[in-house]
Structure 1
Amino acid sequence: MPAPAKLVDVASLSREKLALFLSEQLGERPFRAAQLYRWLHQRGATSFDEMTDLSKALREKLKVKAEIVPLVKDLEQRSVDGTIKYRFKTRDGRFIESVYMPAEDRKTLCVSTQVGCAMACSFCMTGTLGLKRNLTPGEIVAQVHAVNREVRRNENLETLRPLTNLVFMGMGEPLHNFENLKTALAILQSEEGPNFSHRHITVSTVGLVPMIERFGQETDVKLAISLNASTDEQRSKTMPVNRKWNIQALLDACRKFPLRQGRRITFEYVLLKGFNDTDEDAHRLRELLRDIPAKVNLIPYNENPGLGFQTTGEQRAEEFRAILAEAHVAAYIRKNRGRDIAGACGQLANRDETAAEAPV
């Protein structure tokens, strides 16, 4: 007996591929694609039955050949600073985390792109998991839809898209899942979808040099580089990617990166006490960035059990920032959000004991 045909995950399809699927597989007219796409990505529908302006016959055809892959909220943790960390369970029993950070002038979501991470940065809890698998475009986008629903309900809002900003700084290395990331970005920026501005989306990478060029050519959102060291010796100790593409190769890629007028590349620098936070580090860092339109986010380390690093004190962080500022490098000490719920930078690792490991 032949195996049943695999259902198409319509939420992972670009607008163009969705139109092709409906016309070629279901014999539907092109305008149906616009209706379905809006239900999926403006309203964040999780079932075909919600799509009330589609005929019942079309909804039944969709159920036979297509599916909307579920992403189920498994845990919610609230910080004293207003940050909310959501843990979602995928259909295959994996767990990912997304972090909502409200502020007076914006509502930001930190999005994950992979289950775990292959980069193995020694100061990051996600790196201890290893890479389990890539997230699909639908699973990446579903985090945004799910948190939009949560924010609407929690804050009694009517707008379909209360989130204003997206940062791809959650679990995983975004450029290691580039094709799925690119499709997700196209969906998130589409006028018939969530319609996020390219100015309000930032993607962070540890430095996959060949992919940085493609990222610049094939997307138009903002780039952030997780640098975290002023010498190759330091960076290779904590970020194995540096052994393949060192700081010079990484910064050369940044110099070639196509920047829109007025834009800068953000460099993230996690301050590790006694390791990369000396005056000498600050002087080296400002020299490294001398000819790059750059902004530096200094991130006091969020201590994680068993990783062996400590956070830099506030005074040392300010002294480090001041050295950069003397050379007219725009540098800011980033306020950590959600530290008390392990929702801050480098802490996403599904550490709650209820998150049992799924079988490979």
Structure 2
Amino acid sequence: MERVIMAAINKPMNKGSRYYYARMTLPVLNFVYYVGKLLRFALLIIGFSLLLYFGLILVSHNSDMPFLTNLEEVVLSVFPYLNQLHLPVIGGIQIPGVIFIGTIFVVCMIISWALRRIRKYAKHVVLRVTIDQLDTAPISSKAPEELKQLESTIEEVVSDSPAIQKGEGGRKEMLELYQEVRSNLEEMKVDLTFLSIDVVDSTGMKEGEESVTVEADFSQYNKLIEAAFDRHGYLKAAWTPDGVMCCFATADAAVSAAREIIDAMVQFNMTKKFIKRDFSIRCGCNSGKVPYDEGAPLEALCDHVIDVAGHFQKHGMTDSICISKNTYDRLSKPAPFRLADKNVDGIDMYIQHMDSTKKVKSLDVIQRVRSLF
């Protein structure tokens, strides 16, 4: 809870916001909260030490056990201030001391009650500030990591609330605020399809080859991939040395790009590359709603939808397109895909094998004809 309060304190906010001045009280509340905890701790130490001391006096004066007297001396050595108390004794019991101890514990209870109130008010301000940030900021300025942080803030505040856990007052309001933020977050999500492509055994392909040749071939391969992405209107892509994750607005665009790339690899292997082994790729697709920010790179977007696309690619077959049921349901013409006999991350896999045999033969004929001239 302390973490989310500090986050709300440090978060920039419009001066015209309804909760701007309420947010300004958070540093003071935070300071008072910690001072109150320290004071309560100190009073509890004093109260229990007095209770132990007076109990030892009462027992040792009515007992012949010498170790109680020794224990009394040990307590005095640890808490020397107890020796300064000169209180009257009535019937072997220090009546004012009992009242003093009782007062200390009552004060501790009052401090605990005040700390709970401070904590509850701070949570209320944090929730209101968070919702105000969602309401006032334009959608384009809300980076995915910021949205995740806001959602995490709400979840932590609500789950940490004693009022909610015990069913006390404030439960309804806190849950309504939580649902409001979740609703805002869902409205900011965009339905997208992610295409993951990876070169099969890229490490083995590079063995025994000149580094310059490998670099040139992979550079040409990347240009081929990017050109196909451009033709199908990709939104953004994140590249790794031998693979890529690409984002498309529709499932049809992602699948069409994958088909074009696999088909293009046949000619690429026959006419463009110089290394001995052919390029073979795996393609995996998944679709879903994600918090999309046009201004942020794809690498900054962390979402389960993207992870699943990568998993479908890894579990897929060479020179085939493996898509999730999420993507299959979004295709305008899903007929070429058939249901595979396995699923990934609990999601059904659909697969389309790209038959390039005829294309290879036709390209081979073309090459032979060209060689005659």
Normalised TM-score (structure 1) = 0.27
Higher strand share: 1
Higher helix share: 2
Normalised TM-score (structure 2) = 0.26
Which of these two proteins has the greater Rg computed from alpha carbons? 2
